[in-house]
């Protein structure tokens, strides 16, 4: 599996510059900086054509660099954790859109693995209390999703164990200083080495609107004209009003 160089898209509303990011992932599901997106409705089903994992659940790594800098300085640690943008933006939209209902024909076994990276010295994440509070709030937020989606299991399995949890969390420190690209490189490398099949790289304030987007993205990658499951895919950008904004293909 060769490395892939992926150029991050520029979101005009924010005006952030493009940046080169190198990841050794087999297939990148999505790369985007913009903050309000949707993808066309698609019927994907499972298993996908040329599926990488059948009959095991798909492992989708969601890699997000986070920082608590710029948050409320006089607040308690609990308040600082609650104020993190991931809890008011990306995570709620993920929980409402990532998985189809269990009785849907588009439902498929999938484990969503959140890989969170932060710079050493972060006033929240680089403290024991801050990490414990963050992980506790995260687990509370995803509990109902796990119970309803049952997404880490096959239809003939009835018992759940901690290992079979369909939402997993890894929190990783890095010795970088305010370097977003380096954090993403480190997270993507660790997720790849751990065996994740796909990588999705959202910002913490991204909103996903169309339900079932992971299956739609994976189906698009499975039908890659270059090589099945090789490439990058993404949704339509509702902020810029441009069709296909944020989509990137290639090797």
- Residues 74-120: pLDDT tens digits? 789 999 999 999 999 999 999 999 876 555 655 667 889 999 999 99
Give the per-residue pLDDT at 7.
Answer: 29
The answer on pLDDT for 50 being more than 70 is no
Helix (H, G, I), strand (E, B) or coil at 4: strand
- In the DSSP assignment, the letter for residue 54 is T
The answer for residues whose C-beta is within 8 angstroms of residue 7's C-beta and 6 or more apart is: 18, 19, 20, 21, 248
- 247/232 Cα distance (integer angstroms): 7
Closest CA to 18 of 29, 7, 28: 7
pLDDT digits (tens, 9 = 90+) for 184-202: 999 999 999 999 989 999 9
């Amino acid at each position: 599996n060769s490395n892939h160089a992926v150029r991050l898209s520029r979101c005009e509303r924010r005006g952030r510059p493009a940046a080169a990011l190198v990841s050794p992932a087999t297939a990148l599901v999505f790369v985007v900086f913009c903050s309000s997106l949707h993808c066309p409705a698609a019927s994907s089903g499972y298993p996908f054509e040329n599926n990488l994992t059948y009959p095991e659940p798909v492992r989708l790594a969601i890699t997000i660099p986070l920082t608590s800098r710029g948050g409320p300085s006089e607040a308690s640690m609990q308040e600082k954790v609650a104020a993190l943008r991931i809890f008011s933006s990306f995570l709620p939209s993920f929980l409402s859109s990532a998985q189809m209902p269990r009785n849907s024909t588009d439902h498929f076994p999938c484990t969503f693995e959140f890989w969170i990276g932060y710079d050493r010295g972060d006033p929240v994440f680089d403290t024991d209390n801050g990490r414990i509070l963050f992980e506790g709030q995260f687990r509370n937020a995803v509990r109902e999703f796990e119970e309803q989606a049952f997404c880490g299991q096959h239809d003939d399995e009835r018992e759940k164990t901690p290992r079979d949890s369909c939402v997993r969390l890894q929190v990783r420190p890095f010795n970088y200083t305010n370097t977003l690209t380096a954090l993403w490189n480190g997270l993507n490398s660790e997720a790849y080495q751990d065996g994740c099949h796909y990588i999705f790289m959202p910002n913490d304030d991204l909103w996903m609107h169309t339900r079932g987007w992971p299956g739609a993205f994976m189906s698009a990658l499975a039908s890659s004209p270059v090589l099945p499951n090789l490439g990058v895919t993404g949704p339509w950008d509702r902020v810029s009003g441009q069709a296909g904004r944020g989509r990137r293909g290639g090797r």
